[in-house]
Amino acid sequence: ATPTALLVGTGRGAQLGILIKGPEVLESTRAVDTIVLDKTGTVTTGKMTLLDVTTTPDTDVDAVLRLAGAVEDASEHPIAQAIAKGATARVGSLPTPESFENIEGRGVQGIVDGHLVLVGRRSLLDDSALTLDATLEAAMASAENDGKTAVLVAWDGAARAVLVVADSVKPTSAEAITQFAELGLTQILLTGDNKTVARRVGSEVGIEQVIAEVLPEDKAAVVQRLQAEGKVVAMVGDGVNDAAALAQADLGLAMGTGTDAAIEAADVTLVRGDLRSAADAIRLARKTLGTIK
């Protein structure tokens, strides 16, 4: 393609809400045959809500919300924000943790009111050899059965509560996925979340292939494995835990509503945070490069 045609292509992209880093990106966009979609914040709104709290018999709900809310308030994760918001609504202002640590893809921990508090998925508690009593096991199983995310809360060496959070699929996601299929792309839903949630979201929007329970540092490796199989891979993400995968992909597409790290790592920014723009980008690249050859 001539430099002018490429510039026209990128200019047309800007009008469609697709910011392309350089004209050379159009070539990899055209060649893409596989599209990997991050779940949270990409296919779903990422705006989670705290729906339910179950505690062990001798634990006070307000204490759970105060301690878990305080630690999550220090995190940017959509789950964390839902918990902090739900906690504030019920118990009022939250204390500031004396220490805070984000354990990527698993949860958070911090010291609040002198207690070491853990909030996150089961593997976070496994590391400290914490087990769940029957009440918590049942609450967790029921949440996951419903395709919701169960978050565990522990402090002072005991698991004490299950918080249930969920978000919803974006209204435009199913249509985008139909368009990817029409473009002949293989689609894969990639998430750190559990298999049940991943499958529920996948079937809601029409994606059959789901890779779940992937740690943030392994997301780039999944992309790399597909590339090793000869696939030309596009990855769409919001940058929460997937900036490295966006950089690894042949074509990284960041949701404009995502993090600065995502936008930096990606080749293309979808300004409106609308997944359909990814299909627009691929059509545009095929058109721009196809007509001029």
Kindly tell me which residue out of 40, 187, 257, 259 binds Mg ion, with binding defined by CB under 5 A.
Answer: 40
AA letter at 161: A
CB 266 within 8 A of CB 254: yes
Q: How far apart are CA 108 and CA 75, in angstroms?
A: 8
Active site residue: 38, 73, 242, 267, which one? 38
Q: Which region among 86-94, 205-213, 237-245, 285-293 touches Mg ion (by CB under 5 A)?
A: 237-245
Residue 239 CB, shortest distance to Mg ion, in Å, is 8
Residue 283 CB, shortest distance to ligand ADP, in Å, is 27
Q: Which region among 7-15, 17-25, 234-242, 269-277 touches Mg ion (by CB under 5 A)?
A: 234-242
Can you state the percent helix, strand and coil of the chain, rounding each to 5? Answer: 45, 25, 30
Number of residues that bind ligand ADP (CB under 6 A): 23
Q: How far apart are CA 9 and CA 284, in angstroms?
A: 7
Residue nearest to ligand ADP (CB): 192
Q: How far apart are CA 191 and CA 267, in angstroms?
A: 21
Kindly tell me which residue out of 13, 18, 20, 38 binds Mg ion, with binding defined by CB under 5 A.
Answer: 38
Nearest-10 Cα torsion for 235, 236, 238, 240: -30
Eight-state DSSP code of residue 126: H
Q: Which of residues 190-229 bind ligand ADP (CB under 6 A)?
A: 191-193, 216
Neighbours of 286 (CB within 10 A): 16
79 binds, among Mg ion, ligand ADP, none (CB under 5 to 8 A by kind): ligand ADP
Active site residues: 38
Which residues bind to ligand ADP, rule: CB under 6 A?
38-40, 72, 75, 77, 79-80, 105-108, 119-121, 149, 151, 191-193, 216, 240-241
